[in-house]
Structure 1
Amino acid sequence: MTAESLDLFADQPGLHWPQVRGWLQGHGELLAADRALLEELGLRPHGPNVVDFAPAALTRLEAEVERETDARKRIEAVARANFAAQTQTHVAALDLMEARSNSDLARRLDATAQGRFGLAGAAVGLEKPGAVPFGWKALEPGRVDALVGEDGLHWLGPNFDGLNLFGQTEEAVASVALIRMAPAITPGQAPRAGIVAFGSPDPEGFHPAMGCELAAFVARVVERMAERWPAIDA
C-alpha cells in the first residue's frame, strides 16, 4: 500500500491524507521545529530542516534482530533435543541387540525406556493363540486392531482403563505410545500380531499430534530381535 492510497482520515469529512501529506510537504519546517512531536514519533531533530530517523530505524532493527535471535534459539533448542533423542535411540537399539532371549529383550526394553528416555516403562505384547515368551503380555486375538485400528500402525494419547500392559508401573503411566509389530516368532506360521508399548508419566508425553518415528524404530528392532528365538508351544 502506498502513502498516496493510505487515507487515515476517511472518516473525517474534508480531511484526507493526500491533502495532509501535501500540506506537510509545504510546511516541513513546522514539523521539524516541533521537537516534542518528533520525540513522540521516535525521531530526533538534527539541525535546520533535518530529521534524524536513526533512533526509530534502530529500534525497529533491534526488535527484528531480537525476534530472529529468539526464533534461532528455539530452532537450535529443538535441533539439540532431536539430536539427543536420536542418539539415545541408537544407543537403545544397541542395548536391545545385546539381548539373549525374548524375556531378556522385554526386560532390556523396559530398562532402556526408563533409564534413557525417562519413561515410566515399556512392554511387549503378543496375540494368542500360540506361545507367548516369558515377560511378554499375552493378548486376546484382535486386541492389536482394537488398540491401534485395523489399518493403524500406532496410537498415541492418554492412558486408559483396560490397557493393562505395564504391570506394577501402570498407575504411573499417564500417556502411551502403542506401536504395531508382527514378528515371525512361531515356526511354520504366519507372523503374529503384537505391540510395543511405551508409557510416560507426563500426560503430554505422548499425544496424537507428535511424531513417533523414533519409537517406531525401537519397535522394529524389537520385532526383528524377537524372531531370533522362536516361541514354541510346550
Structure 2
Amino acid sequence: EAAEREADARKRIESIARANFAAQTQTHVAALDLMEARNPSDLARRLDAAAQGRFGLAGAAIALEKPGGVPFGWRGLEAGGVDSLLGEHGLTWLGPNFDGLSLFGASEAEVKSVALIRMAPQFPGAETPARHAICAFGSPEPDGFTPTMGCELVAFIARVVERTAERWPILS
C-alpha cells in the first residue's frame, strides 16, 4: 500500500515536471519570436499571437503611459496609470480581471483573469530616461492567473518585451 502511494506521488510529480518543462520551452520559443520583431507594432502583434497560440490565452497587450507617443498596436495609459493598477511599488498583479482595465480589445469579454507586469523601457532619443508601462496577459479561465501563482515565466516574457521595445524610438 505504501509503495502504491509512493508510485502515485512520483507519477504526479513527474507529470508536473513535464508540464513545467513544456511551459519553459514554449516561453523560450516565444522569447526568440519576440526578439525578431521589426518594430513596436510587430512586437505587440507577436506578443498577442504567442499568448494565444503558445499558451492558450485570450490575448496579451503592451500599455504605455502618456505623455508621449504610443505605438500603433499598444494601449495608452494616462500618467500614473501603471501605479493605479499595480500600486506605487507593485511589480506584478495576478488575479481576476477587473472593470476598467480595457487592455485586450476585442478579446476583453473573454478575459477572466490577468497577469500584469510592470515595465520601464528606455527608448532611444527620449527626453525622459524611462517610461512606465505594463505587459498584460489575459486568460479565459478564472483561475488562469491567481495571486498564489509564481510569475517567473510571464515576468521573463515581459523583460524580453521591454528590452526588445528599447530598440526603436517612440515617434509622436
The reply to whether TM is greater than 0.5 is: yes
**Residue 220 of structure 1: aligned partner:** 159
Alignment of 1:1-234 (within 5 A): 63-185=1-123, 187=125, 188-233=127-172
Aligned length: 171
What SS does the aligned partner of 2:103 have?
A: coil
- The gaps in structure 2 that reach 5 residues or longer are none
* TM-score normalized with structure 2 length: 0.97
C-alpha RMSD of the superposition: 0.8
**Residues in 2 aligned to 1:144 and 1:65: alpha-carbon distance in whole angstroms:** 52
Does the CA-based 8 Å contact 1:123-1:136 persist in structure 2? yes
Identity of aligned residues (%): 73
Whole-Å separation in 2 of the counterparts to 1:91 and 1:186: 27
* Structure 1 residues not aligned, in runs of 5+: 1-62
Structure number with the bigger relative contact order (C-alpha 8 A, sep ≥ 6) is 2
**Judging changes above 3 Å, is the alpha-carbon distance between structure 1 residues 160 and 133 closer, same or farther for their aligned structure 2 residues?**
same
Letter in 1 for 2:168: W
